[in-house]
Amino acid sequence: MSNAYLTYAAKRLGQAVVVILLAYVFTFVVVSILPGDPITSVLRNPQNGFSEEEIAEIIAAQGLDKPVLVQLWHALSGFVTGDLGMSMRSNRPVSTLIAEVLPSTLILAGAGLAVALLLAMLVAYGTRFVPKKYGQGLLRGFPSLFLSVPNFVIGLVLIHLFGFQLGLFRVINPDSFWATLFAAVALGIPVSSQIAEVLIANLDKEAEQEYAAVARSRGIGQLKLFVSHLLKPASLPVVTVIALTIGELLGGSLITETVFGRTGVGSLVQRSVSTQDLPVLQAIVSLGAVVFVLVNLIADLLYPLLDPRVKILGGSKRRPTTSDEPSIGSAKAVNP
């Protein structure tokens, strides 16, 4: 590892910390501006029959009547020391709540990504090697189709078809293998479209390169050409797209989890938003920021290692010389 590479990595890490802290403060401000809080919304449920005086007394006992800045300072100092606080809704530690739901979401997001990659690969392969008369044009339309069908629609169709009609899985046991697989399919289909789109475009570009023509002239098979010659160079930009789709996977998992009845981060977010459970929301938004920043950091750091043409240019003063080279962050490609 070169010195420049390490400086670059350290700088990116510093930026990441700032982004996470800002995300934390931003969530606090946004949720504080909204009227209401989890404690009063429970107390105001007419079934409970509390009077306004009693509600005010309970609010004061919880410190929710203190100025917003005092509350922010309290939360922030806890966050920096690693204390995520207590959920106002459930009265349990935020870290416990997140630990309970995180594995389910990681499994779903991982499986969803795998489905998306596989699907994108198949569609991209098809667009190159399925003859025009057998619907190559149709295949090229798939990414747009995938993107335009909301994943809850896909989810509901899958549940009714495979869950209720064919009985492959039980809706009330969403963590079973089949239920997880179909949830991953529902989540993966829209995500695959972006990956497929980028892959198709790059395959088209690579296929026109001379090395591809040479390989073809040597009589190499279509599958072998795709796998051992075209796929690797065409998939470099895909790394960037995958890093960007992490956000979509996390966001999409919220809806997919609700539809399939899985208890993951998404369902925790949903419950916390509807009750304005500030400590939980702050922790989750910060966690989201951590994941997003980390994944993009990994992608950036991976890029120069994958493509020998990409060099770290160190300081920010130097500008890229051409615009069509692969570039992410401050890692720039330099033509050999």
Residue 145: in which H helix or E strand, if any? helix 136-148
Tell me if 71 contacts another protein by CB under 8 A. Answer: no
The verdict on 183 binding another protein (CB under 8 A) reads: no
Nearer to another protein, 113 or 250 (CB): 250
Which of 15, 48, 222, 322 binds another protein (CB under 8 A)? It is 48
106 binds another protein per the rule CB under 8 A? no
Q: Which of 56, 72, 149, 178 binds another protein (CB under 8 A)?
A: 178
Measured from the CB of residue 107, what is the shortest distance to another protein in angstroms? 15
3-state secondary structure of 332: strand
**Contact pick of 5, 19, 50, 255 for another protein (by CB under 8 A):** 50
Q: How many CB atoms lie within 10 A of CB 122?
A: 14
Residue 160: CB minimum distance to another protein, A: 8
Q: Where are the alpha helices (DSSP H) in the chain?
A: 3-33, 38-43, 52-61, 68-80, 94-129, 136-148, 151-158, 177-207, 210-217, 222-224, 231-260, 265-275, 278-306
**CA-to-CA distance for 292 and 290, rounded, in angstroms?**
6
Q: Is 32 in the site for another protein (CB under 8 A)?
A: no
Asked whether position 30 contacts another protein by CB under 8 A, the answer is no
> Which one of residues 23, 31, 43, 186 is an interface residue with another protein (CB under 8 A)?
43
CB of 66 to another protein, least distance (A): 14
Q: Which of 71, 95, 136, 258 binds another protein (CB under 8 A)?
A: 258
CB 121 within 8 A of CB 193: no
Token pair for 2: 């070169």
Count the neighbouring beta carbons within 10 Å of the beta carbon of residue 63.
10
Catalog residues that contact another protein under the rule CB under 8 A: 34-36, 38-51, 53-54, 57-58, 61-62, 86, 89-93, 97, 100-101, 159-160, 164, 167-172, 178, 258-259, 261, 263, 267-268, 271, 274-276
